[in-house]
Amino acid sequence: MCSPVENGLPGREGQDGRDGPRGEKGDPGSPGATGRMEMLDVPKEDNSSAGDPGLDGNLGPPGPPGPAGVRGLAGRDGPSRIQRDVGPQDISALWRQLEALQGQVRRLQEAFLQYKKVELYPNGRDVGQKVFKTAGFVKSFYQAEQMCSQSGGQLPSPRSTAENHALQQLVELENSGAAFLSMTDFWTEGRFTYPDGASLVYSNWAPGEPNDDSGREDCVEIISNGKWNDVPCGAKRLVICEF
């Protein structure tokens, strides 16, 4: 749209643009101040368009109250766009775009929550940022570990009562006795760790466990009462993955 020649002319107004900084300080604390900072920086980088900031400086005074939020969006889009978005029509257009985006976000949120409910029914549980989901069948620890990682997840590492309770619910739901957890004392007998090697921050061992029965129990199961027991890694247990 704007030819380099046109930009060159406003470039002279750029001297006025130096007045812009004062307007910027006039917006202490408001988002508008940030947007104006970018507007001033831009002309310095683009010689031919230095004049534009001068115009922004004039708009500065009214800017602080309402338009501030709009300017925040423009800031992301980049310098060149900010320079053009100085007219009232542009502001109105931005507001319409903002409202349209808000509507899109709202519809996405609703759709996401719907699909989340579908996904969690009946064999999934979400706790905070985590989602646990059971495959509904039993595998050895190694097979279960592989299945979870192939799906982008991992075996469950319950780090709180709430997470442990969610896993307990899935064990009860499947009526399969017990499920594998992620932790092992494979490297150092008696020292159970998460897959990343870190020590446990939470545990819920059954009385007398872990006991490394017969010296062969390096994996962990969670049973239907929520308690943990160390078992042989070759045992077959319900597969639950953590995502």
Interaction site with ligand GAL (CB under 6 A):
209, 211, 213, 217, 229-231
Quick check: helix, strand or coil at residue 170? helix
Cβ 78 to Ca ion shortest distance, Å: 58
- Closer CB to Ca ion, 29 or 207, in the complex: 207
Based on the shown chain and the rule CB under 5 A, indicate whether residue 185 belongs to the binding site for Ca ion.
yes
Cβ 199 to Ca ion shortest distance, Å: 15
Ranked by CB distance to Ca ion, the top (closest) residue is 212
Quick check: helix, strand or coil at residue 26? coil
Ranked by CB distance to ligand GAL, the top (closest) residue is 213
Cβ 127 to Ca ion shortest distance, Å: 26
Say if residues 4 and 48 touch (Cβ distance below 8 Å).
yes
- Closer CB to Ca ion, 77 or 212, in the complex: 212
Residue type, 154: Q
Cβ 226 to ligand GAL shortest distance, Å: 15
The sign one gets for the Cα dihedral 164, 169, 172, 178 is negative
Cβ 163 to ligand GAL shortest distance, Å: 22
- Closer CB to ligand GAL, 91 or 220, in the complex: 220
Binding Ca ion by CB under 5 A: which of 230, 237, 239, 241? 230
Give alpha helix (H) positions in 78-139. Answer: 79-84, 88-120
Binding letters toward Ca ion, positions 198-217, x by CB under 5 A: -----------x-xxx---x
Q: First CA to last CA across the chain, in angstroms? A: 49
Give the list of residues 6+ apart from residue 115 with CB closer than 8 angstroms, or none. none
CA distances from 80 to 9, 96, 114 (A): 16, 20, 40
